[in-house]
Every structure is written in structure tokens, then in C-alpha cells.
Chain A
């Protein structure tokens, strides 16, 4: 059998199935080592500001634990709660045997050059695990920070919700304000075990010339719930991701929500794919995208493999100030009795809605902002209040750029 490293070597130049191809050699793999950060409050103010935008709370009040990585270095890692483990993956691989049971077990190293890169040049990443039956209601936070200009950050994350547990994670990715160019490649593997509930909210806040290639795979067992939210509303050069979720146990549920804003020069190719492989599984993929001069491709794919499963896909796109918006919803039913539906709409803001609000006293700009805000505020069931607040804040901040 070929080793994973061999496979990765062979896939080193393999282009991704979709999205613009990136020349990896134009990015640097050398970063300065960063010192440990014992107290998050000692981080320079301008960095804190950027990290906060992606949901990191440096006070750690109201957070179950934190993982912070700067460039290649895990600078802070720890849980504040019994039964919740937060460990840098390199340390975990060196010290904990069980990690091998999850590492590269869902994602394939030879998917494309980005997964190969993460395999061959792993810098770090986080392992977050919540123990069986443990319900952690405060969100755990993680932030992957790009501080060096032109750097290629390669991370690998493992998220494990053991049987009957509950965990909410807010995972931010941001670049320092002086960074204009960079490449972030990340592999994430999610394990939602029997009757566990995991929510994962990812907020991206990059810069104009940053390229982002996340590669995520999740598996949800019997009675499990996986809620995956993705928010990217800031300029970025190119994001391409198509995370996949397998619902393998009876009654497993997955919901995926994405909120996207495409600024001029940004190319977002964001989708979600869910396989319904067991009885009574349910899937929902909802996306709201606004292009403000950017290029957005909103994909979704639900595959029903067992009779009686249900799935719904919704891509709504708004073209605000030029740009291109494409919605590509796909559904596949492989047996009788699957119930899959989709709803896609691409358009502009309805004039009659603007006029209606103006007749209540708003100016045209205020009316437009109000409608945009409404468009982006989807009710996400099952999300704890602090995470709702983070999403609301991201939507609020995006208003300024959009208008």
C-alpha cells in the first residue's frame, strides 16, 4: 500500500477540481517563529482588532477555550472546561495515540495540491474534542492568523464531538492589517458521533490579495446534528471551498448556512455537499450572497441515497453594484422515495421594497441598507446567542462595504 506521504507527493501539482489554479511556489513557507502568548490581552491592539472581527474574544470571558495560531505557530491553546480538549495538532500527534484514528481518515491527501501541501508541509492546527455526554454551551474559539506577507499557511484541524456531547465552535481566519498577499490552505475533519450536537461557525476576514483553499469533510452518526456556518464578507482574492458532509447514522441532521459578500476583485466559489446515507437523515443548505462588483459562485449539492430522506437547498443571490452571481444547485436522488428540493434566485433589490421603506421616512441609501441587512439575516436555529451576536456583528460591519 502506498503511504499517505507518497500519495501526497504524487498529488503535489494536482489542480483542484474547481476554482482558479494557484501557483504555490509564489508563496513563502518560511515564517518567523512566534513566541507563546500566555495572556491574549497582551497581543498588539491592531492585531486584536482584526482577530475580534472574526469572533475571537481576547478576554476569554464567555468562551470555553481558545486556540490561536499565528502563521505557522500555535501561540495559545487551552480549554477552560473539564471534558473539553483543545490541543495543537502537532503536539497531539506526538503525544496522543487516539489522534491517529482521526487524522486523514475523512479527507484524502490526494484530493488536490492543497491537501497534498497540508500533508507535506503541515505547520499546525487544532484538535478540539468534547468528551462523551459533556455539553459545553459556551463557544470554544479558534483563530488562524496570517501575519507574514506572502506566507503560505497550512493547517490541519480535527474536531471531535463524542457520543451525546454538545459543542459550539467559532473559528476565525484573518490576516494582519499590513498583509496584502498570502495563501491559506486548511484541512478540517469533523466527527459528530451518536446523538452529539456540533455547531461550527467560521468567519473569514482576509485581505485583497489572499487566496484561501479550505478542504473540509464531516461525518455525522446516528441522531447527530452538525450545524456549519460560513461567513465571508470582506475582500479576498479567491476562496474556493466545497465542504462535504456524510450523514451515516439514522436520523442524522446537517444544516449549512453561508453568508457571502463579493467585493470588486474578489472571487468566491463556495458550496456545500451533503450525502444522505442513512434512514431519516435530513439536510439543509442555505446561502445568501451579495455581489458588490465581485464574482460569486454559490454551489450546493444534496445526494439522497436512502428512501425517505429529505433535503433542501436554497441559494439566493443579489447583485448590488455590478459583478457576477451564479447559483448552481444540484440534487441527486439515487432511490425511490427521496424528497429533495431547491430554490435559487438571482436578482437585484426590488425597487418597490426600497420605495416602501422610503415612504416610511428612510432615505434611498438607508432603505437599500435595510433590505441588504434583511437579506443577510437568516434565522439559524440551534445557534447559541453569543454566536448569533457574532454573526449579526459581521453582517452589520459588511453594510459599510456594501453601501
Chain B
């Protein structure tokens, strides 16, 4: 469903991604690890289509379409959505209105906000003066309204307090349709097979792994992806030997 081939990306004169290859199949969720400054945010922003991330080589394909040079809004309409590490604030734009924009109107903002414990913020300007943890919930609320097919999460749990972290974890799990339970008509296996929602989640803390079982994990290091594998195993390795060793031992 998402195919990245030999992607090279520059910001200004700085090469941030050297050679990235990645395939996320329909229904899969991947976890992205990597040290500070390794280019994780850059990869997500490039997938979303931010123009300051200049693609100098390679190709991104989504739902069979070459999206490498599509505008951001075209990608959004194609079903890509992102929860940002540091979103901008917009004066005078109420959070309530922003959520409606995400849903293209016709959404019950109040009940959606209740789910993510964000009702008190709906009449505030979007992101203006929001704390770090509040921004995460605001971003999540927007994605809940937008319902993209492919969700990019940039550190969705960093800076979030212990009570809200489980709320965020469970909500992401649900958004990615990973909280499947067998029904009368369909087995859990069947439902999992039918799942289309895809995800790519950046994490440093690994807390998110307590709430969802991701399909794969990998480490972004020196501008390329390495050591694809079980995310929990990779995270364990990183904690034990650090990113460099982790990448080396697999390579």
C-alpha cells in the first residue's frame, strides 16, 4: 500500500535521508526508532508532502499512485494524515472548527472530544498555549475526525502524563483498527485480515508498545532504515546496546 524506494531527501543543503526503502502493506502498523536528528520527522513530513523536504531521488507510491510530487492536500484527500511533533498554532481558529475541518464537517465534535478528554479545549484557539501533552491529544482528536487510511504519528506519547498515556495508546490502537474482537460473523483472524488502516509511529519511549501490537519495527540511522524486525525485540536491543550497536548487529 505504501512503497518507498531509494528515497533521498534534502532540507536546504543538508541531506537528511540518504537511501530509504520501506514497504507498509495494507493493514500494517510499523514502529520507527532512531536517535535524535536521525531524520524520523523528516521521513514522515516527506511522506505527508511538506515542500521544504526536497525529494532529490527515489519514489513514494501510495494506493498504487506515485505521490512523490503531489501537494499536501492531494495526499490528505488520498487518505494520509499526520499527528505532528510540533504543530503550529493558529490565532482565532477554534479547536472545534479545526476538528470540523478535519472531518470535512458533519461530525459530533463534542462526543469525539469527550473520548480523548479534550472537551475543555474546544473553544480555545488551536494549539495556542497548549501544553506538550495537550498538543498530543489535540492532534489525536483531529485524526479521529479526519479518519485517514494511513496515519503518521510523530512521538504521540512523549510528554504525556501517566493517566493520559493509556488513553492515547488505546485511542491510537482503535484508530488503527487493531482492537479487533471476534464477532458472531467473523473471527478475529478474519477481521485482522480485512483491516486496511495503516500506521507509522515514531517513538523514543516505547510506551506505545504497551498498548498496541505493531507488525514491524525499524531503526532510522545515518539516513537509512535498518534492522527490520519485531518492534519489541528492537526496542529491547536499543535499550541494552544503543542504536549504533543495534543497527550493526543486524547489518
Are B90 and A353 interface neighbours, CB within 8 A?
yes
Given known A-B contacts A358-B71, A360-B98, A374-B125, A352 and B88 have beta carbons under 8 A apart: yes
Q: Is B87 an interface residue (CB 8 A)?
A: yes
Are B101 and A353 interface neighbours, CB within 8 A?
no
Interface-lining segment among A14-22, A34-42, A324-332, A375-383: A375-383
Q: Is A10 an interface residue (CB 8 A)?
A: no
* Complexed CA–CA distance, A27 and B82 (Å): 59
Interface-lining segment among A158-166, A265-273, A361-369: A361-369
Q: Is B48 an interface residue (CB 8 A)?
A: yes
How many Å from the CB of A115 to the closest CB on chain B?
36
Given known A-B contacts A353-B88, A356-B87, A361 and B93 have beta carbons under 8 A apart: no
Are B73 and A350 interface neighbours, CB within 8 A?
no
Are B73 and A358 interface neighbours, CB within 8 A?
yes
Given known A-B contacts A355-B72, A374-B125, A360 and B92 have beta carbons under 8 A apart: no
Q: Is B81 an interface residue (CB 8 A)?
A: yes
Given known A-B contacts A359-B72, A361-B73, A361-B102, A371 and B93 have beta carbons under 8 A apart: yes
B91 to chain A: closest residue by CB:
A374
Given known A-B contacts A355-B50, A355-B72, A361 and B104 have beta carbons under 8 A apart: yes
* Complexed CA–CA distance, A78 and B87 (Å): 53
Given known A-B contacts A358-B76, A359-B72, A378 and B92 have beta carbons under 8 A apart: yes
Interface size on B, residues (CB 8 A): 26
Given known A-B contacts A355-B50, A356-B87, A361 and B101 have beta carbons under 8 A apart: yes
Are B76 and A359 interface neighbours, CB within 8 A?
yes
Q: Is B46 an interface residue (CB 8 A)?
A: no
How many Å from the CB of A50 to the closest CB on chain B?
28
Are B76 and A371 interface neighbours, CB within 8 A?
no
Are A360 and B93 interface neighbours, CB within 8 A?
no
A356 to chain B: closest residue by CB:
B88
Are A360 and B88 interface neighbours, CB within 8 A?
no
* Complexed CA–CA distance, A357 and B92 (Å): 14
Interface string of A333-365 (1 = CB under 8 A from B): 000000000000000001011011111111110
Q: A363: which B residues are within 8 A, CB to CB?
A: 73
Given known A-B contacts A361-B73, A361-B146, A363-B73, A356 and B102 have beta carbons under 8 A apart: no
A374 to chain B: closest residue by CB:
B92
* Complexed CA–CA distance, A322 and B48 (Å): 30
Q: Is A399 an interface residue (CB 8 A)?
A: no
* Complexed CA–CA distance, A362 and B81 (Å): 12
Are A375 and B98 interface neighbours, CB within 8 A?
no
Among A350, A361, A378, residue most surrounded by chain B Cβ atoms (within 10 Å): A361
Are A361 and B92 interface neighbours, CB within 8 A?
no
How many Å from the CB of B60 to the closest CB on chain A?
15
A350 to chain B: closest residue by CB:
B88
Are B92 and A358 interface neighbours, CB within 8 A?
no
Q: A362: which B residues are within 8 A, CB to CB?
A: 73, 101
Q: B98: which A residues are within 8 A, CB to CB?
A: 360
- 16 further interface pairs, Cβ-Cβ under 8 Å (given A350-B88, A370-B93, A371-B90): A353-B90, A355-B51, A357-B101, A358-B73, A359-B72, A360-B76, A360-B102, A361-B73, A361-B101, A361-B104, A364-B71, A364-B73, A367-B73, A373-B93, A375-B91, A376-B92
Selected A-B contacts with CB under 8 Å, 11 pairs: A352-B88, A353-B88, A353-B90, A355-B72, A356-B88, A357-B90, A360-B98, A364-B71, A371-B93, A373-B93, A376-B92
Binding site for A on B (CB under 8 A): 48-51, 71-73, 75-77, 81-82, 84, 87-88, 90-93, 98, 101-102, 104, 125, 142, 146
Please provide the 7 A-B residue pairs with the shortest distance between their CB atoms, ordered closest to farther.
Answer: A374-B92, A374-B93, A358-B73, A358-B72, A377-B92, A361-B76, A352-B88
